[in-house]
Structure 1
């Protein structure tokens, strides 16, 4: 099962990417993130970078970046007993604007239970994150 939201952003892809890719600062930027902490060495975020994320009402999880495409998006994965969570952040140019797509899916023996327990909340969180990213990027674009 995949939960996805799409958001039109009145900003160029490069501007949106600066916000979305600033993972180290997500707790400051996104109201949905209570805490995010880099687990590996500091430095540029890339494939293999790992983050521990705490969100209200959800289990704390450690995500590892498995796909990092500057200017286009990234995917990271968290594993817990019986469930693998994969979250993607994709940017698609639309002229001078961007279509932002955030998605999450679960697989494994416990995936259906996770979906039942957290599906609606996850949909709301993704929508809130997409809106926040859009507002931050559009505000940044306006400052240029």
Structure 2
């Protein structure tokens, strides 16, 4: 099961990408993140890990599985019976704007149940995160 949210941001892809890669600053961008702690050094790359604390949830370690500069960032975490994969897809939308698509995919034996129980909440969460990226990118002065 996949849930996605797309938003056109009035900022260049490069600016939105830089915000996306600064995962430790996400709690300043969105209320859906309480804390993000990198567990390794250097730029994000496949295999990089971060511990994320979100309101009302236990902290989870997310591992980067794919990264294509200025276009794709994917990471995943696992819980009992569930794998969650989160992706950030960026693309030019014309006139210096960015199309930012956030998606969470649920897989595993509990994916259907979790999706039915939390699908609306997950959509609200990623929409809130996307709005946070929009607000941050559009208020940055270069």
**CA distance, structure 1, for counterparts of residue 113 and residue 79 of structure 2:** 13
Matched, 1:48 2:50: no
Change in CA separation of 1:52 and 1:20 when aligned onto 2, cut-off 3 Å? same
**CA distance, structure 2, for counterparts of residue 17 and residue 48 of structure 1:** 19
Q: Which runs of 5+ in 2 are unaligned?
A: none
**CA distance, structure 2, for counterparts of residue 59 and residue 103 of structure 1:** 20
**CA distance, structure 1, for counterparts of residue 17 and residue 60 of structure 2:** 23
Query: Runs in 1 of length 4+ with deviation above 2 angstroms?
Result: 57-60
Residues 1-144 of structure 1 correspond to what in structure 2 (within 5 A)? 1-39=1-39, 41-95=40-94, 96-140=96-140, 143-144=141-142
Scaled by the length of structure 2, the TM-score of the pair is 0.93
- Count the aligned residue pairs: 141
Scaled by the length of structure 1, the TM-score of the pair is 0.92
Q: Which runs of 5+ in 1 are unaligned?
A: none
**CA distance, structure 1, for counterparts of residue 126 and residue 81 of structure 2:** 23
